[in-house]
Structure 1
Amino acid sequence: MERRKFLAAVSLVGMAGTLQPSELLAIDKQILSTGNKPKNDREYWWKLLYKIASPVTENLANGTLKQNMLVEKSPTFDNRSIHVTYLEAVGRTFAGIAPWLSLPDDATEEGAYRKKMRNDVLQGLTRCFDPSSPDQLNFKTDHQPIVDAAYLAQTFIRAPKALWEPLDAQTKGRIISAFKSLRNRKPFQSNWLLFGSITEAFLLSVGEEPDTERLNNGPKKLNEWYKGDGCYGDGPNFAFDYYNSFVIHPMMVDTMKIMMDKGLVTEKEYELALSRMVRYAVGQERMISPEGTFPPIGRSITYRTGAFQALSQVALLGKLPETIKPEQVRAALTQVKKNMYDRPGTFDKNGWLLLGFVGHDPDIADYYTSTGSLYMATLSFLPLGLPADNQFWSAPKADWTAKKAWSSQKFPKDYHVDY
């Protein structure tokens, strides 16, 4: 049975180049239908990620992203150009799928679909930076491209061998030029500073001369705004929302890793940033209720499970503390995903994400939110970059902290940290 399923998957991958988007969607719906129950958590995760991301990756590869993408915006959407939604969809999706696509090819159904998506991403990158393409993305106007160039930079940082090195020299040059073109616009004095920093860190990593002020400013200011116990301020004040996970910890750590590798910060400075992210991740794991829900706190809750990027990245890096087993994080996040994505109104009939938290609710969207913004959701799938035999995937399911606590099981105490 497994061999027949794999051969079918391989044949579909071979056909993909000749099929229209509607036909590809029909295939995806067949593979991901409820009748094909995943045999384990990993299969559920990768099939769900494929379902979320494939409308973006396939349409971009085919040159039909702007033609086919649903564009839904918040009822309070401000005066920014709605065209930024396409770059948002691409940057955020690619940052979330990058670790999965970095795994080597293998003779499994998952491997076949992973290879297809990787090929789509590489083809899409050549299209969206091609001036003659209908899907060319805008980096030259508006401030929003500062944000999503950063997620594209993080994509290449997370999967350099899979998604950067295979690109042709012309496409690489166009990407570098697009990133440098952002230097005529300054990030706002908030988490946005890290968008500028990580983009410059990526340029540094590929041998380009960085804008040193832009590179250094994010880590410098965020360290000044650190509030303690794993939480940074988003600016001088503390904001009780998920931006420490959406942006701050992951981009701080990824930026400082490159800076450390290049001798611009010390190992001690990098380890401090990493230890703060680990501390924040401990709190995130404890916030997942016994039922697999989490508080709808703060702005940008339409990014759904993107709220758990920090916890997911700590798991990907293998840095979970001894008090948190990888399998309990997997079990907790699996239940969250089931509660959030297995609900009517999450996707439209063509597979695009819809505005909402659980289901469809445009009114909960913020003034800067449109369809492309929602693909931050992919950022909770980072542990798919771990191979299937890693403990995160191979160990039996385990109860997470809140589930233990509310069923009278032993669970570890928790104390604040001073770093």
Structure 2
Amino acid sequence: MGVSVPIASNPLRNKADLEQAFSQLTKPLLPYYSAGGARLELTGSGAGQAPEVAGMEGFSRIVWGLAPLAAGSANADEELLQLVLKGITNGTNPEHEEYWGEVADYDQRLVEMASLGLALAIAPDRLWEPLGAEAKQHFYNWLNQINSRRAHDCNWLFFHVLVNVGFHKLGLPYAKDQLEANLNRLEQYYLKDGWYEDGVNGHSDYYVPLAFHYCGLLYSALMKEEDPERAARFEERSVSFAGQFVNWFAEDGRALPYGRSLTYRFAQGALWGAYAFADMPPFELGVVKGLYLRHLRWWFSQPIFSPDGVLTVGYSYPNLIMAENYNAPGSVYWAFKAFLPLALPDEHPFWLAEELPLPELPAISAQQAPHLVVCRHSERDHVAAFNAGHPGTNEHTHTSAKYEKFVYSASFGFSVPRAEWGLSQGAYDSMLALSEEDNLYRVRRKNEETSIDGDILISVWKPWRDVTVTTYLIAGLPWHLRIHRIETARGLDAAEGGFALPLDATLGVNKQTCSLIGRTGFGGSGISGIRGYERAELIQAQSNTNLMHPRTVIPTLQAKLQPGTHILIAAVYGEPAALEEALPEHWQQSIQLSMQDERIRAVSPSGKEIIISL
């Protein structure tokens, strides 16, 4: 199927293989450049930004990969290089019909300036010097608009930083005071253990490795002499972060799908390449190389390309349902941030190092800043993150599904709703969905309280003003336990969803009144009602709701709740490549549970105890 077959068989062992991968991904794009070269005009869907802005966005995102290639290889794709130089010349010329335009406050084009700033900083001999004097002035003038425009108070401030670092490296006038102010503001987003929040009270998700640490390492590598104290701070934090972030990756290279902007795909692992670029490996260099290359191999083996070899919007397959409002067809090429190691010379130790497997990692990693407990079942190469939830929310697409599920699995993925009517359209895997007996369900979106104690996560949330849910998660793999204390002033229908299981002809089901386990060639998913539930059903979710699998079924417990106080308890099972018979009582092997004298006592796999009053 187009480029997908050769790139899937690319061994990705060395720099030449990575250069070939870049070529395999960019060759199919050449017919989609506009006549003036300033826009990458991919079609098939729209986004929040105007089409001409989306075209400019696609153009700039290719530069995330082209700039490192131009900096580190004499074999840079000359056809693409000349096309990009033509595009820069025309896109920044106010007299040309493809002029990228005057930029407004909070404009998407402020984001897209960052790759051009990087190009100025690391590849000026290929992406600046060939321009004529007038073209250089136009280029500078257009980029310099970023110094008189407001950017969103979040990771966007780093894009201003990169543009001005590019100016500085060329000896061009730059906004030194504003650069310092933005760097100081970015400091205020820092939490602990290497984690940032994406703006005040923002989420801690892939924007931390993809924006904060990635750009922080670029800054430290490029500005170490001018700003050694801050560069050292960025490096120290990035090393601290790596110790937590590595737990998000499975041995086969896949990473946890969690949060927004997941259509950027292999940008998930771009930070590992940034460690190499900045000569700041947080582990043995071969371990970093293995993390980086296995991640790319896993992605290139997925059906993520159109028939002509263009990356699609989606996650592990083309899927517009999960996309963000700002995901235009060319947005996906932010994934090219993963090509930063191409800037390294052929003899760099990163290319000479032997690729090594993951370091020894704990079965449980409690990560307070992102509100997660990451569990690892090494026998099945299964990684899952249990989620205490967040005190705030936002208006991004499918925020509840992307930030408030009880658990996120690197193998089972997670689902987003397709519509609002019923359990099939809602696709409520790894959630407690509540309906006011009208088939319209509400789920956790934000929390009144959250806490993590080892492998026990607690949250308090209010789907209605007069309904309070206290959720206790006892994390573990392949089984985990969920306990909900629900105080409601209204009658409710409750549905508790397990992991979404890919639906195929091999599906087999073991069902009892209040427990159900489904198995396919992929693995097994099940749920067992221990208290408060009335029946178990296998809900066939509507197609394309799950990020990993186009067709899924969700083991689901259901109950009717009258006004009053209720306790719901469920054991949830998920295991890819399951080989053994998984029975409903297997959770008891790792989690102790007793109910007596108006209280519930549970002891987690790590020995943590929790007592819940009825």
Indicate the TM-score class for this superposition, using the shorter chain for normalisation: 0.7 to 0.9
What residue in structure 2 maps to residue 310 of structure 1?
271
State the SS of the aligned residue for 2:191.
Answer: strand
1:49 aligns with 2:22: yes
1:362 aligns with 2:320: yes
What residue number does 1:157 align with?
A: 121
**CA contact under 8 A between 1:289 and 1:403: conserved in structure 2?**
no
Which residue pairs with 1:127 in the alignment?
90
CA distance in 2, matches of 1:240, 1:332: 21
Could you say what secondary structure the match of 1:231 adopts?
Answer: coil
In structure 2, the partner of 1:19 is none
User: Displacement of 1:217 after TM fit?
Assistant: 2.5
**Partner residue of 1:240?**
204
**Quick check: 1:335 aligned with 2:298?**
no
* Aligned counterpart for 1:82 among listed residues 51, 54, 73: 51
Q: Highest relative contact order (Cα 8 Å, sep 6+), 1 or 2?
A: 1
How far the C-alpha of 1:67 sits from its partner, in A, is 7.7
TM-score computed with the length of structure 1 as normaliser: 0.76
Whole-angstrom distance in 1 between the partners of 2:276 and 2:39 = 35
Identify the match of residue 389 of structure 1 among 341, 347, 354. Answer: 347
Tell me if 1:284 matches 2:248: no
Q: Residue in 2 aligned with 1:375?
A: 333
1:172 aligns with 2:136: yes
Q: How many Å separate the matches in 2 of 1:60 and 1:158?
A: 24
Amino acid at match of 1:96: G
- Report if the CA contact (8 A) 1:97-1:382 is conserved: no
How far apart, in 1, do the equivalents of 2:346 and 2:172 lie? Answer: 36
3-state SS of paired residue (2:150): coil
Q: Aligned pair count?
A: 365
Partner of 2:425: none
Shift of residue 236 of structure 1? 1.7
Q: For residues 184 and 87 of structure 1, what CA distance do their matches in structure 2 show?
A: 20
Q: Which residue, 348, 371, 374 being the options, matches 2:306?
A: 348
Aligned pair in 2 of structure 1 residues 64, 72: CA closer, same or farther (>3 Å)?
A: farther
- Alpha-carbon deviation of 1:199? 2.0
* In 2, Cα distance between equivalents of 1:203 and 1:48: 30
Q: Which moved more, 1:272-281 or 1:120-129?
A: 120-129
Percent of counterpart pairs with the same letter? 23
Distance 2:319 2:360 in 1: 28
Q: 2:229 aligns with which of 268, 282, 306?
A: 268
1:241 and 1:297 in contact (8 A); partners too:
yes
Contact 1:61 1:121 in 2 (8 A): no
| Alignment partner, residue 93 of structure 1 | 62
Supply the distance in 2 between the matched residues of 1:335 and 1:185 (Cα, whole angstroms). Answer: 40
The structure whose residues are more often helix, as a share, is 1
Give 1:277 shift. Answer: 2.2
Opposite residue 255 of structure 2, the aligned amino acid is: F
Give the letter for the 1:291 counterpart: D
Could you tell me whether the CA contact under 8 Å between 2:247 and 2:361 is conserved in 1? no
Equivalents in 1 of 2:358, 2:127: separation in Å? 34
State how far apart, in whole Å, the 1-side matches of 2:187 and 2:7 are.
46
Q: Which has the higher strand share?
A: 2
Distance 2:342 2:197 in 1: 30
Q: State the shift of 1:98 in Å.
A: 1.4
- Higher Rg of the two aligned structures: 2
Q: Distance in 2 between matches of 1:115 and 1:404?
A: 47
Deviations 1:347-373 (A, max 9, x none): 223332110111211111111111121
Kindly state the Cα deviation for residue 403 of structure 1 after the two structures are TM-superposed.
Answer: 8.4
Contact 1:312 1:383 in 2 (8 A): yes
Other-structure match for 2:285: 326
CA contact (8 A) 1:326 1:392 kept: yes
Taking structure 1 as reference, are residues 38 and 278 closer, same or farther at Cα in structure 2, changes over 3 Å only?
same
Against the structure 1 CA distance between its residues 138 and 158, is the aligned structure 2 distance closer, same or farther, given a 3 Å change threshold?
same
1:215 pairs with 2:179? yes
Between 116-125 and 187-196, report the one with greater CA deviation.
Answer: 116-125
Out of 375-384 and 40-49, give the one that drifted further: 40-49
Kept in 1, the 8 Å contact 2:60–2:112? The answer is yes
User: How far, CA to CA, are the matches of 2:7 and 2:169 in structure 1?
Assistant: 43
Deviations 1:380-417 (A, max 9, x none): 1211222333332233332122689847xxxxxxxxxx
Match status 1:401 vs 2:359: yes
Contact 1:200/1:214 (<8 A) preserved: no
Q: Match for residue 17 of structure 1? A: none
Distance (whole Å) between structure 1 residues aligned to residue 22 and residue 178 of structure 2: 33
In structure 1, list runs of 5 or more residues that go unmatched: 1-25, 106-110, 408-419
Taking the aligned partners of 1:260 and 1:310, their CA distance within structure 2 comes to 19
Change (3 A) 1:326 1:136: farther
Residue equivalent to 1:9: none
Distance 2:91 2:210 in 1: 24
CA distance in structure 2 between the partners assigned to 1:34 and 1:95 by the alignment: 19
> In the TM superposition, what whole-angstrom CA distance separates every residue of 1:316-347 from its partner, at most 9, and x where no partner exists?
222103xx233332233222222222222x12
Residue 13 of structure 1 is matched in structure 2 by none
Determine helix, strand or coil for the equivalent of 2:313.
coil
Q: Distance in 2 between matches of 1:276 and 1:215?
A: 20
Partners of 2:108 and 2:7 in 1: how far apart? 37
For residue 103 of structure 2, the aligned residue among 140, 145, 150 is: 140
Q: Distance in 2 between matches of 1:157 and 1:34?
A: 30
Change (3 A) 1:403 1:187: same
Q: In the TM superposition, what is the alpha-carbon distance from 1:197 to its structure 2 partner?
A: 2.7
Helix, strand or coil at the partner of 1:275: helix
Q: CA deviation at 1:376?
A: 0.8
Corresponding residue SS for 2:244: helix
Secondary structure in 2 aligned to 1:310?
A: helix
Contact 1:332 1:399 in 2 (8 A): yes
* SS in structure 2 at match of 1:350: coil
Q: Is the 8 A contact 1:57 1:117 kept in 2?
A: yes
Structure-2 separation of matches of 1:393 and 1:256: 21
CA-based RMSD of the aligned residues comes to 3.2
In structure 2, the CA distance between the partners of 1:254 and 1:329, relative to structure 1 (3 Å rule), is closer
Going from structure 1 to structure 2, the CA distance change for 1:171 and 1:349 (only over 3 Å counts) comes to farther
Report how far residue 195 of structure 1 moved.
1.9
